[in-house]
């Protein structure tokens, strides 16, 4: 039965703008549907059995005696005050049953004292009651305070009571420690002259029986009685149990909140029931009160129930105020339900909490919040002065580049702060409202013909506000706001509106807000390479971005953790720039695979659980990838982009163990064709992933560069001394040890520094690498007399040379600048560990470099300026985007097999049986390893040849970047060319680009039917571009390409 109301179409007073075509369609569709819609109705019976306290009269006598004994109230008034409290206030018997006579007598005295105080002020509205009792052992609490129906208190106990309950008892609920809440309003006033009522809150710690009672169900679905608190089971009516049972099943099968509305027969009361997973939101209970007060509703009763299977259910009994001037509850209750979904995403929204001044509804306030976040990142903070300075300075000069970076950072810290942007938003509520209407005109969804939705209040508000064109709105902003910086903030909202292509803002249920943006607004001075697409994701406890540089693109999702408030502020300011830089670097690395570069970043608030932030981020992004099909849950969005999109996520810092969940969640959300390829880095046994570390994928490409150097220079590996960062416990570090046979003289990892000028004992290193143990576990008896191990936790360590190491951590942090060897292979360490400020530490006093050869295995270990500095000193250096691309090649082919196989084939061929891989899986992995080695060797020789052709005039670092850009540019050109349309050439390329085991298993024709055309174009163009350039070099001519293309069909 539908929980959505029928509503009449807008009356004659509502403005209908002829330009608002899809909104007018919405009105007509709603009008047709209105007669067919029906409500869920419940009988006018309590949802809970009201307890009858049999000892109430006996208790009353004790209380009256106790009040007399305390002596504060005149004796002749005592009986009247006690009778008023027990009989006229209308307090539920729950209170009298829970409290002792002594506590009740104190409450009566407090109420009388408040009356006296209000009398002395000659104002009955000053009558304030604030009573609370918090159990010291954590078993619960009671709060009682005066409350005006339908109003959110701005001061006094009512202003903070519910937010305190949220933070103390509800926000951090877990099945092992959670609290149920009952709250009700007294039916009578607190005195004959005051209209206020008492609001009572009873909070009790949940008691789940252990072991739980056996389930009565035979269908394997959760039995609510088996997961309920004993007090809830005693009080809930059979019909409430039935409703909550259905809500619980829906919550279990869905990631977001579940909301249902029930009409109480014969009354105007509506009951709103909301279910969600524990921890799914915070400060939600108090925010809901603010929401229904906005629509002049008040609650007679409210319940929060917790269940041992991790589900929370809130029930609100809502009624209209007697003299309400708001929309009828028959309409407004569904707006409350709609906006409760937004509140669940952002319950602590400062622009809604301020709605008493601004008049913002939740939708407008949520829009203001999203615009606030956008403005923090994208108000142009550099401007013409920075551009002029950039034109004067030489960015290739390391000292100039450092000055530019410092100035850029200072501009961003000082020009627009979060606080200054928020002040502008608070000061201009009318402009924000007009900007919201401008946004809604583009993204408010038209109704489906079969929809049972009537025109919501938000829709009606849109129709009564005359929308302005972009130019009219800009003129109004310019005339209204005189301050130039304020104007820039509000302009950023207009820029936001113009570049949102689709959003889940109006989805009925969601866990975070997501926006797909066209990136054209990014200033070229700051972001010279324009991304293909970008997403911004905003949740209650996080914000995040996703940037990709081509339509088909892949990259890791990184969680950026903050140590403290200051660090969080820095991360917040730099989040987009970090994301942009990582995605741009990934583009260079992804040069010879179908997927372009992409990256996602998530910044959790301080104390927020990272995994919860990741899950919300993923779910919100999926909202924009899968067309909604479920009315009232996931509906179709307004899609101004108009094309299907696929994103491919991979593991990165903080998310390595979350890839399985993301893939399975995509499957649960209905991504039948692409859930298998949605994430890479999945577990091999359970989801058919291809782990880089197990098969040494990244190390294989690094080794090709090391071996290439040996071969070109005629070196014997066993004669080469080597320093390595990243120890035997890591992917790259362990595989570098296992694949090499050099004389390693130092290894630096998270546990400390291991060094031996005679060469570290290789047998012991192999033992650590196979066991994935840090150098801290090295057997020191295997060291020579000059060898040593210094752990990070050690202090005052004496080295064989006699040098004293005061602090092990400080020693470890700078050890990569200390050692000398033939070869340096960074396999771990922080980004920019070697930068323009410390690169001089890698040369001796005579300017001679510590290392002859460097193969940068770890991402971004060197800054670009540091690489160029070393190359000027004749170091043979191969940068990260060339050397460590084996991992991205492996991930790319993991994506391919996920797209190519049906779900059944994938299950049979890629997922382990009895912990063993299939023959197909093993053949496929070997083919990947061969392709990695082939690609790495081809790029190495291309760079080496070009460097030799130029006689060393251009550094290898620069050749590598130019090679990447040339490959990416050629690939982009080929994607748009008609070469792909030549069927024999296309088939010839695909037959070679797709691993042979996959072609043999599925067949080329079937593969070409299954793979999305955008992916096929990307695969075709990447193979052609990389093989052409690796063969002919970056200066290959048109004639060369003609000869190359002629052979594609073979």
Question: What residues act catalytically?
Answer: 599
Q: Residues of 487-513 as b/e, b for ≥16 C-beta within 10 angstroms?
A: bbbbbbbbbbbebbbbbbbbbbbbbbb
Omega within 30 of 0 (cis) for the link into 211: yes
Cβ neighbors of 497 (< 8 A, separation 6 or more) are 435, 438, 439, 442, 470
**DSSP, res 123:** -
C-alpha to C-alpha distance for 281 and 170, rounded to whole angstroms: 10
The two tokens of residue 666 are 């995509």
Cβ neighbors of 219 (< 8 A, separation 6 or more) are none
**CA-to-CA separations, 844 to 714, 921, 973, in angstroms, rounded:** 26, 50, 47
Residues forming a β-bridge with 303: 182, 315
Q: Are strands 41-42 and 258-264 parallel, antiparallel or unpaired?
A: parallel
Token pair 């509503």 is at which residue?
7
Q: Give helix 956-976 / helix 565-589 axis angle, nearest 10°.
A: 70
Closest-CA residue to 2 (of 47, 30, 27, 36): 36
Token pair 């551009």 is at which residue?
387
**CA-to-CA separations, 360 to 6, 14, 346, 368, in angstroms, rounded:** 25, 20, 14, 9
| Phi, psi of 672, deg, nearest 5 | -60, -40
Residues forming a β-bridge with 276: 312
**CA-to-CA separations, 1006 to 427, 1003, 1009, in angstroms, rounded:** 61, 6, 5
The two tokens of residue 751 are 């546990």
- Spell out the SS3 assignment of 498-549: HHEEEECCCCCCCCCEEEEECHHHCCCCCCCCCCCEEEEEECCCEEEEEEEC
Angle at Cα 179 formed by Cα 173 and Cα 180, nearest 5°? Answer: 125
Question: Are 38 and 1 within 8 A, CB to CB?
Answer: yes
Q: CB-based burial of residue 183 (10 Å sphere; 0-12 exposed, 13-18 middle, 19+ buried)?
A: buried
Q: CB-based burial of residue 419 (10 Å sphere; 0-12 exposed, 13-18 middle, 19+ buried)?
A: exposed
Question: Are 802 and 789 within 8 A, CB to CB?
Answer: no
Q: Residues of 370-393 as b/e, b for ≥16 C-beta within 10 angstroms?
A: bbbbbbbbbbbbbeeebeeebeee
Q: CB-based burial of residue 523 (10 Å sphere; 0-12 exposed, 13-18 middle, 19+ buried)?
A: middle
C-alpha to C-alpha distance for 788 and 939, rounded to whole angstroms: 38
Angle at Cα 146 formed by Cα 144 and Cα 149, nearest 5°? Answer: 115
Helix then strand count (H, E) for the chain reads: 41, 25
C-alpha to C-alpha distance for 648 and 846, rounded to whole angstroms: 49
Cβ neighbors of 895 (< 8 A, separation 6 or more) are 554, 595, 648, 677, 680
C-alpha to C-alpha distance for 467 and 464, rounded to whole angstroms: 9
């Amino acid at each position: 039965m539908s929980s959505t109301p029928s509503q009449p179409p807008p009356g004659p007073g509502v403005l209908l703008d002829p330009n608002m075509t899809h909104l007018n369609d919405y009105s007509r569709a709603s009008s047709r549907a209105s007669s067919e819609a029906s409500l869920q109705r419940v009988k006018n019976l309590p949802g809970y059995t009201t307890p009858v306290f049999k000892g109430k009269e006996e208790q009353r006598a004790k209380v009256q005696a106790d009040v007399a004994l305390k002596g504060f109230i005149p004796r002749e008034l005592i009986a009247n005050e006690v009778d008023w409290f027990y009989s006229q206030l209308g307090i539920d018997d729950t209170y009298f049953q829970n409290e002792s006579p002594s506590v009740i007598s104190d409450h009566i005295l407090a109420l009388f004292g408040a009356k006296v105080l209000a009398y002395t002020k000659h104002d009955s509205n000053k009558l304030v009651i604030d009573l609370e009792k918090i159990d010291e052992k954590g078993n619960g609490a009671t709060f009682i305070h005066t409350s005006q129906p339908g109003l959110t208190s701005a001061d006094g106990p009512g202003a903070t009571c519910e937010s305190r309950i949220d933070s103390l008892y509800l926000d951090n609920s877990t099945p092992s420690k959670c609290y149920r809440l009952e709250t009700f309003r007294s039916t009578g006033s607190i005195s004959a002259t005051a209209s206020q009522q008492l609001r009572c809150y009873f909070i009790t710690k949940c008691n789940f029986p252990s072991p739980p009672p056996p389930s009565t169900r035979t269908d394997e679905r959760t039995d609510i009685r088996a997961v309920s608190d004993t007090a809830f089971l005693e009080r809930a009516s059979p019909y409430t149990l039935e409703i909550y049972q259905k809500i619980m099943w829906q919550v279990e099968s869905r990631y977001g909140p579940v909301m249902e509305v029930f009409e109480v027969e014969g009354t105007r009361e509506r009951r709103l029931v909301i279910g969600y997973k524990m921890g799914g939101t915070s400060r939600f209970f108090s925010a809901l009160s603010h929401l229904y007060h906005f629509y002049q509703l008040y609650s007679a009763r409210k319940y929060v129930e917790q269940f041992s299977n991790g589900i929370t259910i809130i029930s609100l009994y809502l009624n209209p105020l007697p003299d309400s001037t708001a929309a009828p509850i028959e309409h407004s209750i569904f707006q409350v339900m709609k906006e409760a979904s937004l509140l669940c995403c952002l319950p602590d929204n400062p622009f809604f909490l301020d709605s008493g001044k601004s008049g913002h509804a939740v939708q407008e306030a949520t829009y203001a919040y999203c615009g606030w976040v956008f403005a923090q990142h994208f108000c142009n903070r550099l401007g013409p002065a920075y551009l002029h300075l950039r034109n004067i300075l030489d960015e290739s000069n390391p000292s100039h580049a450092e000055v530019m970076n410092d100035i850029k950072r200072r501009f961003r810290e000082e020009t627009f702060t979060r606080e200054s942007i928020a002040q502008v938003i608070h000061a201009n509520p009318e402009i924000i409202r007009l900007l919201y209407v401008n946004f809604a005109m583009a993204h408010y969804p038209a109704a489906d013909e079969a929809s049972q939705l009537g025109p919501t209040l938000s829709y009606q508000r849109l129709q009564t506000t005359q929308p302005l064109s972009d130019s009219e709105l800009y003129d109004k902003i310019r005339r209204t706001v005189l301050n130039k910086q304020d104007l820039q903030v509000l302009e950023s909202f207009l820029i936001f509106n113009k570049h949102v292509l689709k959003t889940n803002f109006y989805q009925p249920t969601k866990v975070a807000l997501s926006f797909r943006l066209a990136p054209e607004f990014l200033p070229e001075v700051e972001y010279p390479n324009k991304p293909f697409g970008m997403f911004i994701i905003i949740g209650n406890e996080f914000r995040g971005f996703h940037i990709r540089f081509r339509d088909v693109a892949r990259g890791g999702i990184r969680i950026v953790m903050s140590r403290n408030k200051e660090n969080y502020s820095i991360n917040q300011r730099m989040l987009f720039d970090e994301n942009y830089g990582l995605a741009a670097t990934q583009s260079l690395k992804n040069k010879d695979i179908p997927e372009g570069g992409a990256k996602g970043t998530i910044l959790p608030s301080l104390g927020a659980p990272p995994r919860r932030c990741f899950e919300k981020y993923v779910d919100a992004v999926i909202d924009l990838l899968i067309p909604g099909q479920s009315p009232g849950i996931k509906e179709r969005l307004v899609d101004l982009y108009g094309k299907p999109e696929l994103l491919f996520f991979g593991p990165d810092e903080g998310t390595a163990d979350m890839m399985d969940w993301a893939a399975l969640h995509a499957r649960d959300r209905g991504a039948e064709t692409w859930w298998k390829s949605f994430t890479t880095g999945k577990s091999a046994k359970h989801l058919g992933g291809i782990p880089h570390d197990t098969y040494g994928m990244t190390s294989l490409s690094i080794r090709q560069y090391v071996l290439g150097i040996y071969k070109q220079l005629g070196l014997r590996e066993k004669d080469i001394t080597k320093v390595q960062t990243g120890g035997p416990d890591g992917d790259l570090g362990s595989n570098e040890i296992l694949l090499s046979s050099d004389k390693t003289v130092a290894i630096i990892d998270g546990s400390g520094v291991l060094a031996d000028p005679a060469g570290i004992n290789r047998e012991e290193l192999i033992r650590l690498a196979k066991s994935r143990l840090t150098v801290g576990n090295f057997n020191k008896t295997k060291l020579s007399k000059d060898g040593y191990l210094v752990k990070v936790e050690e202090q005052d360590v004496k080295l064989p040379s006699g040098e004293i190491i005061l602090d092990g951590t400080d020693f470890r942090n700078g050890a990569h600048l200390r050692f000398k060897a033939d070869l340096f292979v960074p396999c771990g360490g922080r980004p920019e560990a070697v930068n323009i400020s410390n690169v001089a530490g890698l040369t001796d006093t005579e300017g001679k470099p510590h290392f002859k050869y460097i193969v940068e295995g770890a991402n971004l270990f060197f800054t670009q300026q540091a690489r160029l500095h070393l190359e000027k000193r004749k170091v043979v250096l191969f940068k990260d985007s060339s050397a460590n691309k084996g991992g991205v090649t492996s991930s790319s082919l993991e994506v391919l097999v996920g797209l190519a196989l049906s779900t059944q084939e994938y299950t049979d061929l890629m997922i382990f049986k009895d912990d063993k891989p299939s023959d197909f899986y093993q053949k496929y992995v070997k083919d990947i390893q061969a392709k990695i080695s082939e690609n790495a060797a081809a790029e190495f020789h291309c760079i080496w040849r070009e460097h030799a052709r130029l006689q060393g005039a251009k550094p290898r670092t620069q050749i590598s970047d130019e090679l990447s850009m040339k490959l990416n540019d050629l690939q982009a050109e080929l994607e748009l060319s008609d070469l792909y349309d030549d069927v024999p050439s296309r088939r010839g390329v695909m037959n070679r680009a797709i691993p042979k085991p996959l072609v043999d298993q599925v067949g080329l024709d079937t593969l070409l039917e299954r793979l999305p055309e955008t992916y096929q174009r990307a695969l075709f163009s990447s193979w052609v571009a990389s093989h052409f350039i690796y063969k002919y070099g970056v200066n290959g001519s048109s004639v060369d390409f003609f000869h190359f293309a002629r052979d594609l069909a073979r």
